[in-house]
Chain A
Amino acid sequence: MHSILFIVFLPLLAAIVAGLGNKALGNVPAKVITTGALFISCALSWPIFLSFVAGSAEASVTPVLKWVQSGSMSFDWALRVDTLTAVMLVVITSVSALVHLYSWGYMDEEPDQPRFFAYLSLFTFAMLMLVTADNLVQMFFGWEGVGLASYLLIGFWFRKPSACSAAIKAFVVNRVGDLGFMLGIFGTWLVFQTTSIPEILHAAPSMAGSTIGFLGHRFDTMTVLCVLLFIGAMGKSAQLGLHTWLPDAMEGPTPVSALIHAATMVTAGVFMVCRLSPMFVVSPTAMGVVTFVGAATCFFAATVGTTQWDIKRVIAYSTCSQLGYMFFAAGSGAFGAAMFHLFTHAFFKALLFLGAGSVIHAMHHEQDMRYYGALRKEIPWTFWAMMAGTLAITGVGIVDVIGFAGFYSKDSILEAAYASGSEVGSFAFWCGITAALMTSFYSWRLVFLTFYGAPRWAASEHIQHAVHGEHEDADAEDGHDHDHSHELLDPHHGEGTAGYHPHESPLVMLVPLIVLSLGAIFAGFLFTHSFISEGEGEFWKGALVFNEHLLHAMHGVPGWVKWAPFTVMAVGFGTAWYAYLKNPRFPAAFVEQFGVVHRFVFNKWYFDELYNFLFVRPAFWLGKVFWKQGDVGIIDRFGPNGAAWVVAQGSRVAQKVQSGYLYSYALVMLIGLVVGISWVMVR
């Protein structure tokens, strides 16, 4: 199984070559090297995954290098491959390879291409290190590594202030989560005296009922550890409270959003909870927390998604919401379903993002859906790809017969939440059902606004630029500032094409769309047996907790539970159809009627404003106070300056004796030394 070394380290090598070679290397060689490395990694990953699907492979660990040994604490670099890793391997390398390819077209006009591709490959390496980790610290290495790559890619267009701010925000908010992760690792080490994941998972059940002192109180040991680790997962996976960085991360180029902020990095938190599932199941409290946070996020993000105008932001909130599904699945004990949704979501969400990128590409960097419309005929390949993605995310399918990818995974999650039988489980179920309704609504809203109706391109500044040949607009994908956000969709305002002709994207962009479309259509049907059905036990082989009782309970849920997702999906579709095609005046009227609610939701529940008020501004204010009042005003004033005043009086005398200050002090010191030593000697 040494192919894993190539899978993981080829992207790193490619990143180093392309990054250091940069301009000297040239665009095309840099792109060939990085993309080539990723396709090789991808080609090597699929056989591993398929051998696990076939049940012929066993978990293995490939040691790489010693890392740290400090007393009884030690952890090494090693690559672990088991079923869970194999799933992640194909997700990461496939999406990454396709995104690399897609970027050939999307980033074609970009002057700084080697840097972009180097970052993408670096990200892939870090993500692979994360999922192959055999100990918690290497997982943390990958965790922070993807954070770095995400920071660099969000800030890729570093001349834009908004991109720089978004990059810093992403890193710092993630660090808040990492604080929990780090303390979680320390606590885990303290309790188990090891950071090796298999050893921890083996020992975890025996710690049930144990208590630990933490911050002056005593708590259940496993609850403390799991909640701390879960705080890390909340940061990386943008769960409610630590989600604020994800929508802003859309400042990065769209392929980045597809790879990092939809398919792979943001799912790291889900992966972590699944990887450590034997720990989490020991603490029902921690499982409840995971379920609750997941369910709340799923609901919250879906509400915001229904109101946004920026096509990427809609999909970003949708991602946030879908991650919530994965978490409450895990919290309900259906880890297989969580991983299955991660797997299918990677395909259809990457597809939606890349499709959105294709639309943006066609619309000359316009991202506001109010200036789209009627693009169905202009960019048909993109349209059909987006349709496949939308059908998958809304979970279209017929119960017990067949459906798109999201149908299998989302339905099983909702069934699991219902079947878990706990109060928080039914809370999650209802949040999930409501969110499914809104998912269907905002997804179809996106499709109708973009591809149907009459063209509304004339009002777009970007289109105006394009039409009037003003290409010097350096800030690609700038979007407008979103200050006209309260402006409502007026169907007759700015109608028309302004003489603009959108072009379908080049083949390098369409191929990834087609491949991912196939994934969005078939991934659920093909792999449902392995991930979540009776075959589950043999497939996972203990890589995560498989709860057979829950599986049986899921089969026994009432019929209405099975049909509920389908029903809300249809209602969401109908509402979107009515509001955006049948009666386009309806949204404006609705907003007028429910202005307060709309404002609250549209402004993302005012989280950013709240955090600015609570954390950002006080931090700067405190910094100034500690500096000016504390250091300068108190410590210096009464410390050295007070003493210096005394010395200065003396030095006026010294000044008369000698011209330089410095020599006199050196002299004073030397005399002091000499006196001291002489005293010792004569003693």
Chain B
Amino acid sequence: MTHKEPAKIVDVGDGAAIPTKGDRGLFTAWRIAFVGAIAILSWLCLTRPDPYLAIVKFVPDGIYVTFKVTVGSILLALVFGLVTGLGRISANRFYNGLASLYVEVIRGIPLLVQIFYIYYALGRFVKIPDLLSAIIAMAVCYGAYMGEVIRAGIQSIPKGQMEAALSLGMTRGQAMRHVILPQAFKIILPPAGNEFIALLKDSSLVSILAVADLLRRGREFASESFTYFETYTVIALIYLIITLFFSKLIGIMEGRINENS
């Protein structure tokens, strides 16, 4: 019997770091950034309402669209990711090959190019709303990354769990559903949370399409008022506040789940 040690993997996500309890340094860094961003934004609006308050009043529609794109994409990406992740560990060669191909192709093309491509490719064959095609484009991309997260989560569950379920007469599907996936979920949540935050930030790329997200609203305002510096200062601060808020929220959710186990 030859046992191969699995290679150690250093996981570096591009999402905001989620502060964990006990990680005091990050924790205070989070506070400084979050409180600081809100303070600066408030101060700018109070001391120079023109143009700052005008910008802040102009962009909320865009925040709403950014949320719609992000939440829609992450939900769809989870579905794609689950199908892909299960495919990557499937014994069925065709399914496995297809899932691997999807991951390889997507990972090899810049996100911005994918968004353009999927948006215009979809537009060529079917008439669907811009927002929906932006969501699909984001989800196709993030589905590949999510697939890897889900695959790693499933593979981290000890082999004995599947064996025990099978020996009780369960099918592989039943074992996945009742035994493996519920356990993998806890392991998947932190990296999936990071993906969510990364997606939130990357959703600004859809502003190049005809989708009026936060960044796009900013561009519209700036090009009419010629207040580029002021507008992008506000846009950056709002993205920062939203991102920090969600990284905290995900950290809290994670803590809850760990407490319950």
A and B associate in one complex: no
Which residues of A line the B interface, CB within 8 A? none
